[in-house]
């Protein structure tokens, strides 16, 4: 079946590991249509991967199987995870990587029974190829093996806005040096933003686009994925604010600032 | 329709942005066959992207839709651009990125009417996904929506050889440190090269291949894309000539040098 | 024909060279299904590429055509090479890149007759596009042009274990800083490992997985591709042992150490 399968990993592009994962899938479902998202997620940076996943997950057609592997705990006790969300599948580690796709959606989550998928598994070091690849391949064939999966209640791990203090944690700096914070605009519906503060920069405004400020000046905006972003018009916020702080301070609906 | 669509961007490989663009295309034309060219064009480096585009544009079969996004002016007034050239399509920003495919070809150019493509566009920051993806997807389906496009006269932007002084501008240093200059061998037909000078290196020769000189020595050649290249046999010209100068000096058809 | 063709190169992701190679293939076999392995093999690092190739070569279905180009000698006298191994094809330079797929397999090797493939070849600098692409495309169409190929006896080039001294050469440091040595576990069948020594680290153990040692501690293991690997649990062996040495010392079957 010609199902679309996407792959995002921190495997890098100088080795054959992503290739091994793709080959394993194609040896099970030779007709699968594989699409690389990118294999340069900063190693072990789950928050970065979680944000990246959110930017493309829902763009793909229904039935797409999204494999995402950013997995500092491989070989430890962390579980493998399958989530069905909005008609699309997530396959990857249960470590918070899936958090940001689930904000505003209903979904079903399943632990992967590793021994059921791969009873004779020798290698402990390549779950991407040995567990996630056969799981994704089966899903792409329309096969949901009940004995491979155990329904459970997914627990998000990424820190979110602290409503008491207004502190919003940084998710990552992207390729362009934009700083992305873990606040989706849908979370502020009906609230008025009074002030945003990051290091020495304070503003009452969320701008509609980069060029709303002078070249080289910082601005906040809701980015193309709906998240709060601190950018610099035609520049890099990561450079501008170096060293980067891990939180932005938000004031809403208060009478006094 | 199973049309080939290629993608070249400066989005990097550590985020989900290229993936979002691909997902958007597949949600419109699920049968499109997407091919990544590369997403590590040096950020905002239009000359580099223009050269890269030239190296593969005509290699693909007719009807291929080539998306290219290197776009420092996103959100500003620069237009979106569609070009039909030699049976293939270019979709990207109108900023000079398309210059080098048009040297020796006939073509038709169209501005993209952004509002017609995406009437309810909110985000101002991701034209790749919100404008270029639907335009490319439509073209891949054989649909040319007249109201999306406005014919216009394309104006090249990349500096070219100054015939008076013989100065040829540098396009870029490639992955191997080869220095590529904006002169295609077809532009010198019927002319005799007397001398090429770059920093402290002068020669009367354009070599047929790298190993025509000793290992570690510099040479000029017409590279595999037909452009003037300054290379070092089994080395990097960018390192050899560091810091790099932005022009090479060419003497042709003169009686005296 | 919808044959799978994979591509691994040291062309990088900031140019259009890998794209040119893919376009050339698709202009010959428009239905080929191309899969990027990665284009960031460290430039000219054959040992690194040879290891990468081994990790995915056999994962792909039979009939897959694997193009691999890491080619410091392009333009010199080195030959182009085609190998048929376990129902899969290798296409690339004859410089040792194919060594590690052939350990424990039977295979047929052929030199490519460059002039037969491309009689009017002008450019001497892009064998990937001008020679390997048409050869791979033909193989993907089920065409084995006898006059393009000359059977010969393949000579491995990568240094292997010295059975006298027990010295095992380093192949590469991978993306995660794991150090991979040129010893496959199948080569030690029936032998007992007494000691492994690398710089100041000595052990009698090969661990089953990373977390068999404390976080931050080094360990040897047979990795997911079956090769001897020196890793650091949740860390980088390349950093831990910096500067890296090029050999590990192995004692087997001795009565005394």
Per residue, what are the HEC states of chain B? CCCEEEEEECCCCCCCHHHHHHHHHHHHCCCCEEEEEECCCCCCCHHHHHHHHHHHHCCCCCCCEEEEECCCCCCCCCCEEEEEECCEEEEEECCCCCHHHCCCCCEEEEEECHHHHCCCCCCCCCHHHHHHHHHHHHHHCCCCCHHHEEECCCCCCCCCCECCCCEEEEEEECCCCCEEEEEEHHHHCCCCEEEEEECCEEECCCECCHHHCCCCCEEEEECCCCEEEEEECCECHHHHCCCCCCEEEEEECCCCC
Pairwise CB contact (< 8 Å): B13 & A39: yes
Q: Do C175 and A12 touch (CB under 8 A)?
A: yes
Inter-chain CB proximity B14 and A174 less than 8 Å: yes
Of the candidates C36, C72, C124, the beta carbon closest to that of B36 is on C36
> Cβ contacts (< 8 Å) between C176 and chain A: which residues?
12, 43
Q: Chains with 3 or more CB pairs closer than 8 angstroms to A?
A: B, C
Residue pLDDT, tens place only, C142-183: 999 999 999 999 999 998 888 889 999 999 999 999 999 999
| Residues from chain A contacting residue C48 (CB–CB below 8 Å) | 14
- Does the CB of C13 have a partner CB in chain B at under 8 Å? yes
Q: What is the mean pLDDT of residues B222-244?
A: 94
The top-scoring range by mean pLDDT among A58-62, A69-73, A112-116 is: A58-62
Q: pLDDT value at position C104? A: 81
Residue of C15, C114, C126 to mutate, testing the B interface (most B Cβ within 10 Å of its Cβ):
C15
CA–CA min distance A88, chain B (Å):
12
The reply to whether CATH 3.40.50.620 applies to domain A4-151 is no
Contact: B24, A210; criterion CB under 8 Å:
no
Q: Do A224 and B129 touch (CB under 8 A)?
A: yes
C105-128 CB burial, b ≥16 within 10 A, e <16: eeeebbbbbbeebbeeeebbbbbb
Is the Cβ pair B175, C14 closer than 8 Å? yes
Which class would CATH give B167-254? mainly beta
Residues 29-68 of A with CB under 8 A from C: 30, 34, 36, 39, 43
> How high is the pLDDT of residue C254?
47
Instruction: Kindly report the nearest CA distance between residue A39 and chain B, in angstroms.
Output: 6
* Cβ contacts of C131 on chain B, cutoff 8 Å: none
Q: How far is C38 from chain B (nearest CA, A)?
A: 10
Q: What is the pLDDT of residue C256?
A: 43
Q: Among A95-104, A205-214, B104-113, C29-38, where is mean pLDDT lowest?
A: A205-214
Chain C residues lying within 8 Å of B86, measured CB to CB: none
> Which strand ranges, in their side-by-side order, compose the sheet holding A193-198?
A201-203, A193-198, A247-252, A167-173, A179-184, A227-232, A218-222
Give the mean pLDDT of A21-26: 98
* Confidence band, pLDDT 50/70/90 cuts, at residue B38: very high
Q: How far apart are the first and last CA of chain B?
A: 58
pLDDT average, residue stretch B183-197: 87
Confidence of residue A254 (pLDDT cuts 50, 70, 90): very low
Q: Best residue in C19, C29, C175 to probe B by mutation, most B CBs within 10 Å?
A: C19
B20 Cβ under 8 Å from any chain A Cβ: yes
CA geometry: angle A196, A201, A204, nearest 5 deg: 35
List per-residue pLDDT tens for chain C, 257 residues long: 899 999 999 999 999 999 999 999 999 999 999 999 999 999 889 999 999 999 999 999 999 999 999 987 666 678 899 999 999 999 999 999 999 999 888 999 999 999 999 887 755 668 899 999 999 999 999 999 999 999 999 999 998 888 889 999 999 999 999 999 999 988 887 888 889 999 999 999 999 888 889 999 999 999 999 999 999 998 999 999 999 999 999 887 644 43
| Chain A contact set for B123 (CB, 8 A) | 222-224
- pLDDT attached to residue A8: 98
Would you list the domain boundaries of chain B?
Answer: 4-151, 167-254
Cross-chain CB nearest to B61 (options C27, C36, C129): C27
Most B CBs within 10 Å: which of A13, A18, A40, A56, as the mutation test of the B interface? A56
Q: Do B76 and A211 touch (CB under 8 A)?
A: yes
> Number of CB pairs < 8 Å for A and B?
100
Q: Identify the pLDDT of residue B168.
A: 95
Q: Do the chains contact at B55 and C20, CB–CB below 8 Å? A: yes
Partner residue facing C59 (CB), from A13, A23, A75: A23
Of C30, C123, C124, the CB nearest to B61: C30
B208 contact residues in C (CB cutoff 8 A): 124
Q: How confident is the model at residue A123 (pLDDT cuts 50, 70, 90)?
A: low
Angle between helices C17-28 and C133-140 (to 10 degrees): 40
Check the CA dihedral C158-C160-C162-C166 and report its sign: positive
Q: Tell me the C-alpha distance between A239 and C156, whole Å.
A: 48
A244: left (phi over 0), alpha (psi -120 to 50) or beta: beta
Average of per-residue pLDDT across B23-43: 97
Q: Choose the closest CB to A42 out of B14, B30, B124.
A: B14
Q: Which two tokens stand for residue A231?
A: 């950018």
Residue B153 confidence (pLDDT): 96
Measured between beta carbons, the chain B residues lying within 8 angstroms of A40 are: 12-14
Rounded mean pLDDT, A97-105: 91
Chain C residues touching B39 at Cβ < 8 A: 13
pLDDT at B76: 66
Beta strands in chain A (DSSP E): 4-9, 33-38, 65-69, 80-85, 88-93, 107-112, 149-151, 167-173, 179-184, 193-198, 201-203, 218-222, 227-232, 247-252
Which band of pLDDT confidence, cut at 50, 70 and 90, is reported for residue A194? Answer: confident
Nearest CB to B59: which of C20, C39, C124? C20
pLDDT value at residue A256: 43
The b/e string for C163-181 (b: 16+ C-beta within 10 A; e otherwise) is eeebbbbbbbbbbbbbbbb
Highest mean pLDDT among A99-108, B157-166, B171-180, B244-253: B171-180
Model-wide pTM > 0.90: yes
Q: How many CB pairs under 8 A join A and C?
A: 100
Check whether B257 has a pLDDT greater than 50. no
Query: CB-CB: which of B15, B22, B39 is closest to A35?
Result: B22
pLDDT given for residue C103 in this prediction: 81
Cβ distance B42 to C126 less than 8 Å, yes or no, reads: no
How close does chain B come to A121, measured CA to CA in Å? 30
Q: How far is B189 from chain A (nearest CA, A)?
A: 41
Determine contact, residues A184/A193, Cβ cutoff 8 Å: no
Residues of B in contact with A56 (CB under 8 A): 16-17, 19-20, 22-23
B75 touches A: beta carbon within 8 Å: yes
Nearest to B17 among A36, A55, A234 (CB): A55
Q: Across the interface, which of C42, C55, C209 has its CB nearest the CB of A17?
A: C55
pLDDT of residue A10: 96
User: Which residues of chain B are within 8 Å of residue C30 when distances are taken between CB atoms?
Assistant: 4, 61
**DSSP readout, A180-230?**
EEEEEGGGGTT--EEEEEETTEEES--BSSGGGS-TT-EEEEE-TTSEEEE
């Amino acid at each position: 079946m010609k199902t679309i399968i996407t792959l995002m990993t921190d495997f890098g592009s100088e080795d054959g590991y992503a290739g091994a994962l793709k080959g394993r899938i194609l040896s099970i479902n030779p007709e699968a249509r594989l699409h690389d998202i990118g294999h340069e997620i900063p190693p072990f940076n789950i928050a970065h991967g979680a944000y990246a996943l959110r930017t493309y997950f829902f763009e793909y057609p229904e039935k797409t199987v999204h494999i995402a592997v950013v997995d500092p705990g491989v070989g430890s006790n962390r579980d493998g995870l399958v989530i069905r969300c909005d008609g699309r599948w997530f396959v990857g580690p249960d470590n918070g990587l899936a958090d940001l796709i689930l904000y505003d959606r209903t979904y079903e989550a399943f632990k992967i029974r590793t021994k059921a998928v791969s009873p004779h598994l020798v290698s402990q070091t390549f779950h991407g190829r040995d567990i996630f690849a056969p799981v994704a391949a089966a899903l792409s064939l329309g096969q949901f093996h009940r004995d491979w999966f155990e329904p459970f209640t997914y627990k998000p791990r990424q820190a979110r806005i602290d409503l008491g203090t207004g502190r919003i944690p940084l998710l990552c700096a992207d390729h362009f040096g934009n700083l992305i914070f873990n606040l989706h605009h849908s979370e502020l519906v009906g609230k008025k933003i009074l002030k945003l503060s990051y290091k020495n920069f304070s503003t009452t405004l969320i701008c509609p686009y980069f060029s709303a400020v002078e070249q080289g000046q910082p601005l906040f905006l809701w980015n193309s994925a709906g998240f709060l972003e601190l950018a610099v018009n035609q520049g890099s916020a990561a450079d501008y604010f170096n060293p980067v702080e891990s939180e932005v301070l938000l004031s809403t609906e208060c009478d006094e600032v």
